[in-house]
Amino acid sequence: MKDSLKKLIDVAMGRVPADVVIKNCKVVNVFSGEITEGNIAISDGQIAGIGEYEGKEVIDAEGRYAAPGFIDSHIHIESSYVSPEELGRLLVPHGGTTIMADPHEIANVCGEQGLAYMVEAGTRTALDIKYELPSCVPATPFENAGAVLGAREIEKLIPSNDFIGLGEFMNFPGVIYNDEDVIDKLVAAKKQGKWIDGHGSGLEGNALNAYASAGILADHECSTVEEMKERLARGQYILLRQGSACHNLRTLLRGVTPENSRRCLLCSDDRQPKTILHEGHLDNHLRICVEEGIDPVTAIRMATLNAAECFGLKDRGAIAPGYRADIVLMDDLKDFQVNRVWIEGKLVAQEGAYLPKIEKYDISSVKGSVVLKDFSKDKFKMNLKSNKVNVIGILPGGVVTEKLTAEIELDENGEFVWNPDEDIVKVAVLERHHMTGNVACGFLKGYGIKEGAVALSIAHDSHNIIVVGVNDEEMEFAVKALVEQEGGIVLVKEGKVIESMPMPIAGLMSDQSGEWVDEKLTAIHDKAYAELGICGEVEPVMTLCFMSLIVIPAVKITDTGLFDVTTFSFIPVEINE
């Protein structure tokens, strides 16, 4: 370290040549807000200075803009459906150099073994992945997840350098009502000096005060400017989200001012390959910011320095002496077309191509996670006594549902008879981690399926199997096909698989390329609409993924039954009057 520091100082003074000099840059200074012209000198992966320098290797930027490497302040790798190494390949050419990743999806399936896989796989990419320790495994006590990370496990794992903080605390009721296990988790993080990320959807007034008082650092769940301002006033950072599923960025940018912009960050939350390949990553966020009237340097600051300061990354977030040489070279400050990317002084992407050799980590420790006990179509029998039932109603364009009631047709055995004119179908969740044999059935309206069935092993947050179909036989076939391919997505029609995407990594991620995943998802969507008749206003995969997420209103279904999120209680499927 001493020799490297002395060399850095010598390079900064111009006494010795830099390892690399990027000349003819317009350097974006996120401290002053200015853009200056000069050369960037790099020594052992650090920036030595900006000015007139000579180097062993000289790269002509040809007047392009040099900005700090982009930092995604909140993302779930698993929601990209690709491995950490593959996500790095996709993001780095778009200027992504660091991501704050919460691996709570794989933790809910594989527990500590899943976390170990993610950490090791994350070392195989140039992208610097900063992992948070998932705080809510399982997400709720009302379903069966694959693992439990309670306060004892948090206390054991949080000291590790593998985890930079405690992941988004979705269990805000546990915080504001002083649940003992929740408080123990918070204390464990605080004792280690680790920050705590937030997820306080809908909190206001004293409840928000209580949540913030617990030391919750940030929130990415704002959907209105009013919510954003409330949280900013209480000292929280706001993560402005633009993902594949949730698009809050344009709305929240209306609340960004010169006074509060330093507390605003940019994040994806989820980012599927299709979105990355066709729209980009944080470069897309920056384009949106400028379109909405945000000053380009302010926008870049939200993607760099603000995030670094929020999460205590003191070595990055700016192009300045002593900082990591994470540098993005762009053609302009409007379209933010990325020309080249350096991470710790190494050229890692050029004109859209990821340069490092890709070596993926062995996935055997997280395979084989989709298992069922004594499964057959008989598990879908409901034996109803009443034809009046509670129904999950899909609301197009989001993951919030409504609580509906309906009268359905039953056969002589009390079994549901599907009517294609009513758009009500059976939906089931099957526990797939511990072979409990749990299967819960309910009814779904608004999905629009008219033939076949769809089955997934991605069902937030416990990721049991969720299946919907026009009859029990099609649903059974879809589930068995899903198990055989070790998870992922399956579409069936007339007893045949018409499209599928195996996801052997914990039943959550493919081991293939992002381009392959994009092609598969496109084919799945096309056939879901054209052959199964799913409603064109509904995203067929992601919508179904969230029908078991019981922290988002109003009614969802888990492997243990139908759940009313507004009352936080189970409700019967049939209504007996």
Q: Contact 100/129 with Cβ under 8 angstroms?
A: no
The sign one gets for the Cα dihedral 528, 529, 534, 539 is: positive
Q: What is the pLDDT of residues 198-225, one digit of tens each?
A: 999 889 999 999 999 999 999 999 989 9
Average pLDDT over residues 17-21: 98
What percentage of the chain reaches a pLDDT higher than 90? 94
pLDDT over threshold 80, residue 433: yes
- The domain boundary, picked from 63, 83, 116, lies at 63
In 3D space, the residue among 211, 208, 167 whose CA is nearest the CA of residue 189 turns out to be 167
Residue 393, domain member (yes or no): yes
Residue 345: its pLDDT value, please?
A: 98
Average pLDDT over residues 405-409: 97
Q: 492: pLDDT confidence band, cut at 50, 70 and 90?
A: very high
Look over the chain and give the mean of its residue pLDDT values, rounded to a whole number: 96
Same domain assignment for residues 545 and 482: yes
The sign one gets for the Cα dihedral 399, 403, 409, 412 is: positive
Same domain assignment for residues 414 and 279: no
In whole angstroms, give the CA distance from residue 249 to residue 241. Answer: 5
Residue 344, domain member (yes or no): no
Same domain assignment for residues 11 and 112: no
Q: Which of 73-87, 396-410, 488-502 has the lowest mean pLDDT?
A: 396-410
* Residue range of the domain that includes 7: 2-63
Residue 140: its pLDDT value, please?
A: 84
Residue 217: its pLDDT value, please?
A: 97
pLDDT over threshold 80, residue 397: no
569 burial level (CB within 10 Å; 0-12, 13-18, 19+): exposed
Average pLDDT over residues 90-97: 98
Residue 68: its pLDDT value, please?
A: 98
Residue 526: its pLDDT value, please?
A: 97
Helices 225-233 and 205-213: angle between axes, nearest 10 degrees? 50
Residue 551: its pLDDT value, please?
A: 80
Residue 197, domain member (yes or no): yes
CATH number for position 57: 2.30.40.10
In 3D space, the residue among 205, 258, 249 whose CA is nearest the CA of residue 231 turns out to be 205
- The domain boundary, picked from 296, 314, 332, lies at 314
- DSSP labels for 86-152? HHHHHHGGGTEEEEEE--HHHHHHHHHHHHHHHHHHHTTSSSEEEEEEPS-BSS-SSS--S--B-HH
Same domain assignment for residues 59 and 75: no
Residue 201: its pLDDT value, please?
A: 84
Average pLDDT over residues 327-355: 98
pLDDT over threshold 80, residue 398: no
Same domain assignment for residues 111 and 253: yes
Same domain assignment for residues 150 and 292: yes
pLDDT over threshold 80, residue 147: yes
Residue 355, domain member (yes or no): no
Residue 324, domain member (yes or no): no
- DSSP labels for 492-560? EETTEEEEEEE-TBTTTB-SS-HHHHHHHHHHHHHHHHHTT---TTS-HHHHHHGGG-TTSSSEEEETT
Same domain assignment for residues 212 and 111: yes
Q: What is the pLDDT of residues 35-75, one digit of tens each?
A: 999 999 999 999 999 999 999 999 999 999 999 999 999 99
pLDDT over threshold 90, residue 475: yes
Residue 329, domain member (yes or no): no
In whole angstroms, give the CA distance from residue 378 to residue 374. Answer: 10
Same domain assignment for residues 84 and 13: no
Same domain assignment for residues 294 and 374: no
Same domain assignment for residues 30 and 74: no
Q: What is the pLDDT of residues 530-554, one digit of tens each?
A: 999 998 889 899 899 999 998 888 9
Average pLDDT over residues 129-147: 94
- The domain boundary, picked from 63, 78, 111, lies at 63
Residue 350, domain member (yes or no): no
Residue 330, domain member (yes or no): no
Same domain assignment for residues 93 and 43: no
**For residue 148, what are the β-bridge partners?**
none
Cβ count near 51 (within 10 Å): 13
pLDDT over threshold 90, residue 438: yes
3-state SS of 36-78 is EEEEEEEECCEEEEEECCCEEEEEECCCCEEEECEEEEEECHH
For the chain, the domain total comes to 3
Residue 299: its pLDDT value, please?
A: 98
Same domain assignment for residues 24 and 95: no
**Sequence-distant (≥ 6) Cβ neighbours of residue 278 within 8 angstroms:** none
CATH number for position 216: 3.20.20.140
